[in-house]
Structure 1
């Protein structure tokens, strides 16, 4: 890869995305082969998680260990010098001397970009506030490609928290690089997709979009459900107004070719009996995070 860091999906183009997806498929085949992989033997990944995480953190750790590397890091800032007032810049300077690559999750937008400016090793953004989550976007694209067979020409519905959902923001931009994609945004008025993203889509001739408040999956290839994120609301009264507003049930999934995705964790926005349907791909989507992050780690560290 030409870049040193992976901070935003906007940092790479369609060619680079397809290269990562192709490499991810090779990594998936390696995982299935059960062979010992030592591509990154001797390399160390530092996972700096200033926010809670299950899938992203563990899949990064799994990916690094599957490649033969090692992992250091923290998951609770209460046990770090952050509590003593250490700046992010100083933390990054220090960790750059301990590891070969950093994956950082932080509640502040722009934190990963800031980290990359002080790091002397590659930095991967594992989520910065409600801004970007590029590795999630890449595994989402990989899921669509593997389960639908294509990305060009799909019709996708994003449902739920489109205002604070960084996975939606990143994926919208990535999809705008492909041909004949149609997006349906389904959300309450309070959680509409940010206007700056709509403005970006208006500049693209190869993508169509519409906005709705009710779930209608007619003609949809991919339904991307999202959690109403309580932790992002500055006013909990506003959260209560939209809590549980959407719920995907079996009755709504009448298209046998449709796939259901979700970045997880879910709360109550997908009925548990949907899990048994062949259209439900969210747990497989979570698994795909391992080969995709293996590919990213390999491509950033192999020079």
Structure 2
């Protein structure tokens, strides 16, 4: 198994032995963390988190992951407005400089493809922590880890992807991994104006995946093993009126949650706004907070894989 230098795209993570290695590592780290026996293999190493877009979970989980493994952190929380980017510095120059201070970089940027450009300039490992409407590979890996941890298998799953499928980079990254599941069936549920882009539809067709598109959630409720809900992203719309017209189009409340299979799970990469009612949080099917914690251990496993 050839070791990766950078983590830029989910396509790099389609290797099943690599997934199994990372999942086993994450599970062991979670057990060790719970027992306060966690090793600190990255002592003396430094992670730089450079975020040109707002983030809570991704940035903090990367930073917590590095610190739990004994490393240090340098962070730029709002690089778009509080870094040398405001003076016109290119991403290439920023990465060249930052790589002299850190052993690994987690980069979030508002433009699709920036992580790939940055990785070419970086002598140290670079992790794509979300690039515009492009990809979010570490989130997708955490999502697959959550599905397997919660449901215990891969075969014959029915997964409903609900909400913003046009701009949702978590969905764009997750689909290639779902396509590895034998017999997977995928429901694509979205308003017409937020449908999955054609290139991802074509990928499903090439892989021979059974999928269906709909603007209604009802058909998926009783058959889904996974309901993956996405936020309608206000920041991607050109006008507030466009956003307001569809922001509440799907709402998972307790009535809907109770109609799901007993073993089914509800996932969301968070933050949520109008998609899942707080009353659902106490439902055993609500996996989104467990999903968020799983991402911490997946990112710990990835940092250890890249640096140890």
Same fold by TM-score greater than 0.5: yes
1:170 aligns with 2:176: no
**CA-to-partner distance for each residue in 1:77-124, whole Å, 9 max, x for gaps?**
233211111110000000110000000000000010011000000000
Instruction: Tell me the residue number matched to 1:265.
Output: 271
- Greater mean alpha carbon deviation, residues 120-129 or residues 18-27: 18-27
Shift of 1:13: 2.0
Instruction: Tell me the residue number matched to 1:72.
Output: 74
Conserved 8 A contact 1:9-1:173: yes
Q: Where in structure 1 are there 5+ consecutive unaligned residues?
A: none
**CA-to-partner distance for each residue in 1:214-263, whole Å, 9 max, x for gaps?**
11212110000111001011333322221211100111122221110000
Conserved 8 A contact 1:227-1:264: yes
Q: Write out aligned runs for 1:4-153 (5 A).
A: 4-15=5-16, 16-77=18-79, 78-153=81-156
Q: Distance in 2 between matches of 1:150 and 1:141?
A: 10
Aligned length: 301
- Report the TM-score, using the length of structure 2 for normalisation: 0.95
Deviation >3 Å, runs of 4+: none
Q: Distance in 2 between matches of 1:192 and 1:174?
A: 19
Conserved 8 A contact 2:8-2:126: yes
Conserved 8 A contact 2:247-2:274: no
Q: Distance in 1 between matches of 2:185 and 2:302?
A: 28
Compute the RMSD of aligned alpha carbons: 1.1
Shift of 1:36: 4.3
Q: Distance in 1 between matches of 2:38 and 2:252?
A: 40
Shift of 1:75: 0.5
- Report the TM-score, using the length of structure 1 for normalisation: 0.97
Instruction: Tell me the residue number matched to 1:245.
Output: 249
Conserved 8 A contact 1:14-1:178: no
Q: Where in structure 2 are there 5+ consecutive unaligned residues?
A: none
* Partner SS for 1:3: coil
Conserved 8 A contact 1:21-1:138: no
* Partner SS for 2:282: coil
Which of 294, 297, 304 pairs up with 1:298? Answer: 304
Q: Distance in 2 between matches of 1:112 and 1:17?
A: 21
Which of 230, 236, 242 pairs up with 2:240? Answer: 236
Q: Distance in 2 between matches of 1:179 and 1:23?
A: 24
